[in-house]
Structure 1
Amino acid sequence: MTTQKALIVGASGGIGQNLVQYLSEQEAWKIVGLSRSQPPLKSTAQFIAVDLLKRDDVVTKLEKLTDITHIFYTAFYGGPTFSVPVAENLAMLTNVVEAIEPVAPLLERIVLIQGGKVYGRQIGPFKTPAKGFAEK
């Protein structure tokens, strides 16, 4: 069985915590979780505290993760208002990918996972199937 190494970005959020728990139960996975603080989880994951909006912090803290095979990106910056801060969310994703891609030659896949906030859940009920803010 080949061991794979997951980088779970946003490991302290709801989706991230569940993914950490799930992959911790799978023999084929080693896990590194990224978040601003360590989530209150019992798992096999290694956690790294990082501010994804600070590019230098991201690069410095991720440069030794040369054996990452998968990035599961679950982070979301909601900002102070109900509008989605697109620039900040794009910067966080870009910082992670641009830090890992050059140092991790075994990188196979990047998976973007988002919850209901992408569809505006925080501003009230919506019809399903939902469409994101960018979809008109």
Structure 2
Amino acid sequence: MKQKKVLIVGATGLVGYAAMKHFTTQKDCSVIAVSRRRPAETFGAKFISVDLTNEKQCLEVFGNMTDITHVVYTALYEKPDLIEGWLDEEQILINKLMLRNLFEPLERAAKELKQLHYCRVLKLMEYTLNR
């Protein structure tokens, strides 16, 4: 069976940490964990510190990830007031920027990318890329 290369984005959050812990136990998976700060435990995942708001850093890091097959995206910029924050234009723009800074270089580099799991604590959406 071909080895999966799983990129966990937002590895210090609740969902990202759980995903990292899960995928590192799978024999057919190699895991890269990404967040600004190092998680308390990486469970054997390779950790890379990346600020998703930094376009240049994202281009350098994700533009070289040619062997990623799966992405679990759990990163989130959130203001203190949860409900009002979801309507806040600045919060919306920062989250959009973070997503774009990851996927624009990664999509060009990772020709074997098969699945993207876009996760939020309250909602989960899954997209399968047809390549």
**TM bucket by the smaller chain?**
0.7 to 0.9
SS in 2 for 1:34: strand
- Equivalent residue of 2:5, what SS? strand
1:71, CA displacement in angstroms?
1.1
Give the TM-score of the pair, scaled to structure 1: 0.81
What residue is the counterpart of 1:104 in the other structure? Answer: 110
- Counterparts in 2 of 1:10-21, with a 5 A limit? 10-21=10-21
The equivalent of 1:49 in structure 2 is 49
Residue 98 of structure 1: CA displacement? 0.5
**Structure 2: stretches of 5+ with no match in the other structure:** 124-131
CA contact under 8 A between 2:20 and 2:42: conserved in structure 1?
A: no
| 1:1-136 map, 5 Å | 1-82=1-82, 83-84=85-86, 85-116=91-122
CA deviation after TM superposition for structure 1 residue 107, in Å: 0.7
What runs of 5+ residues in structure 1 fail to find an aligned partner?
119-136
Describe the SS at the equivalent of 2:20.
Answer: helix
The alignment partner of 2:108 has SS state of coil
User: Secondary structure of the equivalent of 1:6?
Assistant: strand
Runs of 4+ in 1 over 3 A off after TM superposition: none
1:80-132: CA deviation from partner (whole Å, max 9, x where unpaired): 5441311111111111110101011101111101113x7xxxxxxxxxxxxxx
The percentage of aligned residue pairs carrying the same residue is 32
Contact 2:62–2:106 (CA<8 Å) still a contact in 1?
A: yes
Structure 1 counterpart of 2:93, one-letter code: A
Instruction: Name which of structure 1's ranges 19-28 and 36-45 shifts more when overlaid on structure 2.
Output: 36-45
Q: How many residues align?
A: 117
TM-score for both structures, normalised by structure 2: 0.83
Aligned residue identity for 1:35? S
CA distance in 2, matches of 1:96, 1:81: 26
Question: C-alpha separation between the residues in 1 aligned to 2:25 and 2:105?
Answer: 28
**48-57 or 82-91, larger mean C-alpha shift:** 82-91
Quick check: which has more Rg, 1 or 2? 1
Q: CA deviation at 1:44?
A: 1.8
Root mean square deviation of aligned Cα: 1.3
